[in-house]
Amino acid sequence: MEPTQGAGPGPSSTRLAWVCGACQRECIPIRAESRCLCGHRQREHDPEHGWRCKCGGCTCRAFFYIVAQGAWILRCRCKHKHTEHDPGSRACAKRGCTCAAFDSPWVCNCDHGWAEHRQVEVAEAPSSIGAMLAAAAAAELDAMQAVQRGGGSGANG
């Protein structure tokens, strides 16, 4: 099937989502400016190659979302920053630290801990704002016509 010109991203378009395994909610949107364990942004990772980091010299093999708000960043239970952990093994790289893998005591707004959440790849359906507006207008027009006909199909007066 040929893609429709101007219809938005193609059928293979994907995005990353941060989902709670306990309540099945998408808690925080992962955007281009979201941070990875390696310290780079999501936009600096290549979705065509498993979200591998594109920054020279970075050993990150796949984007690993780290919750951040402004200057505040998530810390590990070992009290070290995410950038002080190896992006490959996720173990703490600080000398003398025995932390085997990044893990945070942080609790999300959904009332579940950081460890309950997973980063998943979600396929996005191709759409555009014009298509969504047209669908909404068509639904509104159908409802108006049903009222004009006396309440919808099957009502002949």
The most distant pair of C-alpha atoms in the chain lies apart, rounded to whole Å, by: 84
In the block, tokens 């010109």 appear at 5
Please give the model's pTM, rounded to 2 decimal places: 0.68
User: 21-37, pLDDT tens digit by residue?
Assistant: 999 999 988 999 999 99
- pLDDT of 10 > 60? The answer is no
In the block, tokens 């990150």 appear at 60
d(CA 77, CA 131): 46
DSSP notation for 127-148: --HHHHHHHHHHHHHHHHHHHH
DSSP, collapsed to helix, strand or coil, labels residue 84 as helix
Query: Which percentage of the chain shows pLDDT scores above 70?
Result: 75
Q: How many residues does the chain have?
A: 157
Domain boundaries, the chain: 14-126
Report in angstroms the alpha-carbon separations of 130 from 14, 82, 142.
20, 41, 18
Q: Answer with the residue of higher pLDDT: 136 or 1.
A: 136
- 138's CB contacts (< 8 A; 6+ apart) are none
CA 64 remoteness from chain centre? 11
d(CA 36, CA 82): 8
- pLDDT of 107 > 90? The answer is yes
- pLDDT of 95 > 60? The answer is yes
> Contact, 31 vs 125, CB < 8 A?
no
d(CA 100, CA 63): 19
